[in-house]
């Protein structure tokens, strides 16, 4: 059975738990506040000639910006009930992975190309370590590539873990079958 070791620097299995806990907050902040050039233009103008679709998009932009402005207080628990429910409702409707990918629509292929050019999991892990140290300084595209790199490594580790469990189960069943034959003869 594999054990998880926690060292004095609050690392679990090589991952800094303090950073891991703060990482989703940083991602939410960066991607909530990010406006495409079109969104920036729309958020500044609300004219009578705006279509219903534009008005919906403006409302969505303003909702995101409001959540971004309330996020720190939400994390600290310093919101009144109305603002707390507003932010909670937003998070209930938007999951991090889907939200980030929606915000970066069209960038997924370039992110995957960049990640696959690193070839090995070790290179990707090193890239993640370097970029996480200066996360606040990353532009939105670098932050997105980092997000996808972390997702890629997570999925690879889950697949490996599942395969290890499957292999262990198959071996245990094989051993059980072999022992039953040894102890009781042909089944």
The pLDDT, as a whole number, for residue 53 is 83
User: Residue 30's closest CA among 67, 79, 80?
Assistant: 67
The pLDDT, as a whole number, for residue 48 is 58
**Helices within 50-139 (DSSP H only):** 52-76, 81-93, 96-103, 108-117, 121-133
The pLDDT, as a whole number, for residue 2 is 38
Q: Distance between CA atoms of 167 and 27, rounded to whole angstroms?
A: 36
Neighbouring C-beta atoms of residue 7, cutoff 10 Å: 10
Task: Decide: 40 and 33 in contact? Cβ < 8 Å.
Answer: no
Q: pLDDT averaged over consecutive 10-residue blocks of the chain (187 residues)?
A: 37 40 78 83 69 83 89 86 90 86 77 80 87 86 87 88 93 90 77
The pLDDT, as a whole number, for residue 14 is 39
The pLDDT, as a whole number, for residue 124 is 87
DSSP 3-state of 34 = coil
The pLDDT, as a whole number, for residue 12 is 35
The pLDDT, as a whole number, for residue 164 is 92
pTM of the model: 0.62
Q: Which tokens in the block code for residue 10?
A: 């609050």
pLDDT, tens digit, for every residue of 94-124?
A: 888 888 888 887 777 778 788 878 878 888 8
- Give strand pairing partners of 6: 12
HSE-CB of 108 using CA atoms within 13 angstroms = 11
The pLDDT, as a whole number, for residue 5 is 37
């Amino acid at each position: 059975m594999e054990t998880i070791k926690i060292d004095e620097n609050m690392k679990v299995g090589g991952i800094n738990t303090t950073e891991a806990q703060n990482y989703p907050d940083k991602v939410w902040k960066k991607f909530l506040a990010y406006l495409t050039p079109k969104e920036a233009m729309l958020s500044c103008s609300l004219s009578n000639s705006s279509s219903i679709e534009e008005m919906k998009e403006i409302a969505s932009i303003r909702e995101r910006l409001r959540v971004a402005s309330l996020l720190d207080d939400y994390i600290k628990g310093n919101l009144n009930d109305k603002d707390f429910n507003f932010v909670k409702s937003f998070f209930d409707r938007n999951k991090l992975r889907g939200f980030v990918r929606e915000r970066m629509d069209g960038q997924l292929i370039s992110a995957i190309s960049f990640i696959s050019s690193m070839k090995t999991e070790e290179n990707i892990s090193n890239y993640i370590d370097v970029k996480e140290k200066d996360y606040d300084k990353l532009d939105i595209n670098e932050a997105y590539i980092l997000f996808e790199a972390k997702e890629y490594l997570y999925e690879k580790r889950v697949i490996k873990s599942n395969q290890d469990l499957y292999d262990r189960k198959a071996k245990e069943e094989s051993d059980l079958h072999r022992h039953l034959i040894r102890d009781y003869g042909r089944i």
